[in-house]
């Protein structure tokens, strides 16, 4: 029994030495594998990893914390080797392609412009009578202002020159309107009889024509016309009841046009100067220079259109008068008025003259009237307009057609009348502002070595104003 305690003691000492040797080997292995980040974390080494983590935690707890607010410095320890690598997310602006960013920037600006234009159109439609009256006053002023300027150059006071010009202009326009109404009333009975005779003649011509039109087909067409008129009787009656409102609005528009014309003729310069003060100071020089040029373009357009329309009315009126077409003078006046609608007005007025000639004088007279209308319009388009209007209102025919169509869709006849002068004025203003901005950029650019500045006489900003 005395040997057992000694044996147990030696066994315990041997186990202790074996444990120490295992700890030393484990420590050496950890030191050799400490820099390898890609070593797999296997299950047999899990206790060793846990023990190493606990050892690192203990060491970290023994290190004093160094915070900037405690005065310990700004050193931040690096992340541990086993921390996963996380890729940084890119900036959202840099992730969007350049073309898409440009499209987005242009799109929201176009949306703002479209919204502004829509609101402007709503406001204009709400005060449509006032807008039409002012536009008509602008056109009449552009026609009469050269007369006021001529009287002023002969020493006539401004008030007297304005009054004489306005009274003379409105009297002439009133006499033309009264003459048209008088001619229609004087010839309405005769025209009705001639239309009935022309319809009978057209019916006989259709029956004997090579189109093989039968009596029953003609009767069916006449019955359809009568049914259409009968079905629209209520609408015609309501239109007649609304005629009083239309007359009141027309009289109001005429009065507004007269007053606006008087003030534009008398005080147009001051009105323009007050308008330019509403523009920001940086854009004021360009607007002040573009205004007189826009006014000269509008004046050239109105005067040229009046001259061309007058020539069309005189020659077409003489042609249909010698052909025996009734109401030649009222038709000539209608041709003059419709000439203010480019392209479309000439077609409508010419077709009206041909229809009247057809139902009153027959097919041969209608064909001759059509020949007269086409000849005069060809002379107008190729000779009169280029010679009279010149380069002042040079607008491409496609722009004329599209602007007239858009103006007609937006505001009917009034929009078609205003569309072309608006496009011509806009073209002039945009061209001048582009040239003005280019000149301003050249003046601000630094001059190269040895270059000299050439002084150019400034343009008078008040030239051409009313």
**What's the mean per-residue pLDDT of the chain?**
75
Q: Let me know the angle formed at the C-alpha of 80 by 74 and 81, rounded to the nearest 5 degrees.
A: 135
Residue 71 has pLDDT above 50, yes or no: no
pLDDT at 68: 46
Of the pLDDT bands very low, low, confident and very high (cuts 50, 70, 90), residue 457 is very low
Which range, of 2-6, 187-191, 458-462, averages the lowest pLDDT? 458-462
Residue 349 exposed, middle or buried by CB count within 10 Å (0-12, 13-18, 19+): buried
Instruction: Name the residue among 366, 264, 381 with its Cα closest to residue 324.
Output: 366
Percent above pLDDT 90 for the chain: 2
Give yes or no for residue 311 having a pLDDT over 90: no
Average pLDDT over residues 84-98: 73
- At residue 195, the pLDDT reads 66
Residue % of the chain over a pLDDT of 70: 69
- Look at 418 and 227; give whichever has higher pLDDT: 418
Confidence check: pLDDT of 235 > 70: no
**pLDDT at residue 134 greater than cutoff 70:** yes
Condensed to tens digits (0 to 9), the pLDDT of residues 237-273 reads 554 445 567 778 878 888 898 888 888 888 888 888 8
- In angstroms, what CA-CA distances link 54 with 26, 34, 57, 81? 15, 15, 5, 15
pLDDT range class, residue 229, cuts 50, 70, 90: low
Confirm if 139 and 265 have CB atoms less than 8 A apart: no
At residue 119, the pLDDT reads: 92
As a 3-state breakdown, the chain gives helix, strand, coil percent values, each rounded to 5, of 80, 0, 20
Q: Check whether 452 has a pLDDT greater than 60.
A: no
pLDDT band at 54 (very low <50, low <70, confident <90, very high): very low
Q: Residue 191: name the closest of 352, 373, 376 by CA.
A: 352
Residue 458 binned pLDDT confidence (cut-offs 50, 70, 90): very low
Is residue 44 predicted with pLDDT exceeding 60? Answer: no
List of residues 6+ apart from 52 with CB closer than 8 A: 30
Give the mean pLDDT of 401-422.
Answer: 81
Structure tokens at 140: 């009449």
**Whole-prediction pTM value?**
0.62
What is the predicted pLDDT for the residue at 198? 66
Please say whether the beta carbons of 319 and 369 come within 8 A. yes
**Residue 366 above 90 pLDDT?**
no
Q: Give tens-digit pLDDT for 168-212.
A: 888 888 887 787 778 777 766 666 666 666 666 677 777 776 666
| pLDDT value at residue 124 | 82
């Amino acid at each position: 029994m005395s040997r057992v305690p000694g044996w147990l003691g030696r066994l315990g000492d041997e186990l202790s030495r074996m444990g120490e040797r295992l700890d030393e080997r484990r420590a050496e292995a950890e030191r050799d594998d400490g820099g390898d980040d890609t070593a797999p974390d296997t299950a047999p080494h899990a206790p060793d990893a846990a023990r190493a983590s606990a050892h690192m935690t203990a060491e970290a707890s023994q290190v004093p914390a160094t915070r900037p607010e405690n005065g310990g410095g700004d050193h931040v320890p690096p992340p541990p080797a086993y921390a996963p690598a996380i890729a940084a997310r890119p900036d959202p602006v840099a992730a969007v392609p350049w073309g898409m960013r440009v499209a987005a920037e242009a799109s929201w600006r176009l949306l703002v412009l479209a919204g502004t234009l829509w609101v402007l159109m709503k406001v204009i439609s709400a005060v449509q009578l006032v807008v039409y009256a002012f536009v008509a006053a602008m056109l009449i002023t552009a026609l009469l202002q050269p007369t006021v300027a001529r009287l002023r150059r002969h020493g006539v006071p401004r008030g007297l020159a304005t009054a004489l010009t306005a009274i003379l202009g409105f009297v002439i326009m009133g006499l033309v309107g009264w003459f048209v109404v008088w001619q229609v009333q004087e010839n309405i009975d005769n025209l009705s009889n001639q239309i009935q005779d022309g319809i009978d003649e057209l019916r006989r011509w259709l029956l004997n024509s090579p189109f093989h039109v039968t009596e029953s087909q003609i009767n069916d067409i006449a019955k359809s016309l009568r049914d259409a008129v009968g079905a629209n009787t209520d609408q015609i009656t309501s239109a007649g009841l609304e005629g009083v409102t239309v007359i009141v609005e027309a009289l109001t528009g005429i009065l507004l046009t007269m007053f606006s014309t008087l003030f534009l003729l008398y005080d147009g310069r001051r009105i323009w100067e007050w308008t330019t003060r509403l523009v920001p100071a940086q854009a004021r020089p360009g607007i002040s220079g573009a205004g007189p040029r826009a006014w000269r373009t509008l004046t050239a357009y109105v005067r040229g259109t009046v001259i061309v329309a007058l020539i069309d009315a005189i020659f077409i009126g003489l042609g249909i008068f010698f052909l025996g077409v009734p109401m030649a003078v009222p038709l000539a006046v209608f041709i003059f008025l419709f000439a203010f609608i480019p392209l479309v007005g000439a077609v409508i007025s010419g077709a009206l003259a041909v229809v009247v000639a057809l139902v009153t004088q027959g097919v041969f007279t209608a064909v001759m009237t059509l020949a007269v209308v086409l000849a005069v319009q060809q002379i107008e388009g190729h000779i009169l307009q280029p010679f009279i209007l010149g380069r002042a209102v040079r607008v491409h025919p496609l722009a004329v057609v599209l602007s007239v169509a858009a103006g007609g869709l937006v505001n009917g006849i009034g929009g078609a009348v205003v569309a072309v002068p608006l496009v011509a004025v806009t073209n002039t203003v945009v061209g001048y502002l582009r040239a003005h901005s280019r000149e301003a950029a050249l003046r601000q650019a630094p001059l190269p070595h040895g270059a000299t500045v050439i002084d150019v006489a400034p343009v008078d900003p008040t030239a051409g104003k009313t």
